């Protein structure tokens, strides 16, 4: 039966944790507890490499600053995990694969990693992921699959591609997990594991030093336990915090899309979503049905392989031609979709997407956010997807169905947990066009507060 994410392992929100870590050695003690827990059975396959020594050093530096009465940086001495997609100086970036073994080590930390270090974060290690970030499921045949902590009986997928990042936070091994989001890779695992995920506007955070899946769609972002934590980390990653204005649920104008995003919801997702809509309406939010038929155009615009496949083929074409047997076979199938797509077809896809974004932004004008379930299903069992390609690709398509349009829009979005205690996690997605991150954050804080008041 489902359980509630091992409450004994939860970490409090960052601000509360910072207030609690007010005695000599408290940061070091926290990191030791986290490092021990990261080697336990619940954390199997979460990390591909651990950074025990550097994490301890960051904790001791935070304790020393505290003892000296110095102000602490935003994440000083707090455990943060890093998806195995980011360059770490002196290490080869593996990106969840085995194909990159022997490639040159990175000369510098990725900017996202460097900014976390500068904010004092105790980086605990590199987290597991779908190979080359090309799956919303989170299964990895090379390094194993982290088990979703939300179910104590059935081993369920954590969601991907930021699978280890999600489980590290869900188990209380990190206050935040640095991941990435190309088609939903932050929001999907956040939704399936009962966390908050924030996909910012792509241009807000530097993508340099992150192994690419799609140059067009890749976004550097993170997941945590609450909206405020996501905003703290986002401020670090972006180099400046968002200027967020507090909002009330009363008066929010929310677009309820009638095309695609509400189709064929699993019963538990539909129930959680309808319950949330009822509470929003009772609290004074205005829920406005919106046809948004433009969502039906995505499949056609993206048809010549899709941005992810075409751009992944450009990255991996030599390996696909000489070492295809070393890829995760399911990833290889998706990369191969980009083979043979002409430059003319690709440029047409770019131009049509640009036109589509302009039209959708006009449709969403006047709304505070678009609202829908983050995923139309809850986390499937790992075993079911291991044995069947058909089941795997069906689940992968469903898990990414609602999140991908926001990447296609170059929008921003939050996923908030909206399920009842004791049930499998369900995510609520709030989304807006590019550049509306601060306004959307105010909406997310208001909706989160309403959900937590239950």
Q: Which of 110, 125, 135 lies closest to 167, judged by CA?
A: 125
Q: If you average pLDDT over every residue of the chain, what do you get?
A: 96
Catalytic residues: 83, 161, 185
Of 9-13, 147-151, 339-343, the range with the lowest mean pLDDT is 9-13
201-258 confidence digits (pLDDT tens): 999 999 999 999 999 999 999 999 999 999 999 999 999 999 999 999 999 999 999 9
Task: Give the mean pLDDT of 443-447.
Answer: 98
87-144 confidence digits (pLDDT tens): 999 999 999 999 999 999 999 999 999 999 999 999 999 999 999 999 999 999 999 9
How does residue 2 score in pLDDT terms, banded at 50, 70 and 90?
very low
Whether residue 388 is predicted with pLDDT greater than 90 in this model: the reply is yes
Q: Determine the pLDDT at residue 73.
A: 95
Whether residue 6 is predicted with pLDDT greater than 80 in this model: the reply is no
What is the tally of structural domains in the chain?
1
Q: Determine the pLDDT at residue 9.
A: 54
Percent of the chain with pLDDT over 90: 97
Residue 56 to residue 26: CA distance in whole angstroms? 12
Whether residue 5 is predicted with pLDDT greater than 50 in this model: the reply is no
Residues 154, 162 contacting (CB under 8 angstroms)? no
Residue 120 to residue 63: CA distance in whole angstroms? 11
Residue 212 lies inside a defined structural domain of this protein: yes
**Domain containing 187 — which CATH number?**
3.90.1300.10
Note if the pTM is more than 0.75. Answer: yes
Q: Determine the pLDDT at residue 10.
A: 75
Q: Determine the pLDDT at residue 1.
A: 33
Residue 362 lies inside a defined structural domain of this protein: no
Residue 183 lies inside a defined structural domain of this protein: yes
Domain span at residue 192 reads 7-238
Residue 423 lies inside a defined structural domain of this protein: no
Q: Determine the pLDDT at residue 97.
A: 98
277-314 confidence digits (pLDDT tens): 999 999 999 999 999 999 999 999 999 889 999 999 99
Percent of the chain with pLDDT over 70: 98
């Amino acid at each position: 039966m489902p359980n509630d994410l091992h409450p004994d392992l939860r970490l409090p929100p960052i601000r509360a944790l910072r207030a609690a870590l007010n005695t000599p050695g408290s940061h070091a003690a926290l990191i030791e507890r986290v490092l021990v827990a990261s080697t336990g059975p619940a954390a199997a396959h979460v990390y591909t490499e651990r950074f025990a020594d550097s994490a301890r050093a960051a904790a001791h530096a935070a304790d020393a600053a505290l003892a000296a009465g110095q102000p602490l940086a935003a994440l000083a001495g707090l455990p943060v995990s890093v998806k195995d997609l980011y360059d770490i100086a002196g290490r080869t970036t593996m990106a969840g694969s085995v194909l990159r073994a022997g490639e040159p080590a990175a000369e510098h930390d990725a900017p996202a990693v460097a900014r976390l270090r500068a904010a004092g974060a105790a980086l605990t290690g590199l987290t597991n992921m779908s190979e080359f970030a090309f799956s919303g499921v989170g299964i990895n045949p090379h390094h194993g699959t982290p088990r979703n902590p939300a179910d104590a009986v059935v081993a369920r997928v954590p969601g991907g591609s930021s699978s280890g990042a999600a489980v590290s936070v869900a188990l209380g091994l990190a206050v935040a997990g640095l991941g990435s989001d190309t088609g939903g890779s932050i929001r999907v695992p956040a939704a399936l594991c009962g966390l908050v995920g924030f996909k910012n506007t792509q241009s807000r955070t530097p993508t340099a030093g992150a192994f690419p899946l799609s140059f067009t769609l890749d976004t550097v972002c993170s997941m945590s336990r609450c909206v405020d934590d996501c905003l703290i980390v986002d401020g670090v990653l972006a180099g400046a915090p968002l200027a967020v204005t507090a909002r009330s649920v009363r008066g929010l104008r929310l677009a309820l899309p009638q095309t695609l995003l509400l189709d064929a919801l699993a019963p538990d997702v539909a129930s959680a979503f309808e319950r949330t809509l009822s509470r929003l309406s009772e609290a004074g939010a205005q829920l406005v049905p919106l046809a948004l038929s433009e969502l039906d155009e995505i499949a056609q615009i993206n048809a010549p392989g899709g941005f992810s496949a075409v751009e992944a083929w450009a990255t991996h074409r030599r390996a696909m031609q000489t070492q295809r047997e070393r890829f995760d076979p399911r990833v290889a199938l998706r990369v191969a979709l980009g083979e043979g797509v002409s430059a003319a077809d690709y440029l047409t896809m770019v131009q049509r997407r640009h036109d589509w974004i302009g039209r959708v932004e006009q449709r969403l004008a006047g709304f505070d956010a678009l609202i829908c379930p983050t995923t139309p299903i809850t986390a499937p069992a790992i075993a079911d997807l291991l044995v069947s390609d058909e089941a795997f690709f069906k689940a992968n398509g469903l898990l990414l169905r609602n999140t991908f349009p926001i990447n296609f829009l170059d929008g921003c979005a939050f996923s908030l947990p909206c399920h009842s205690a004791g049930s499998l996690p369900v995510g609520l997605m709030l989304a807006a066009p590019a550049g509306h991150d601060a306004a959307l954050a105010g909406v997310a804080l208001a909706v989160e507060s309403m959900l937590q008041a239950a």
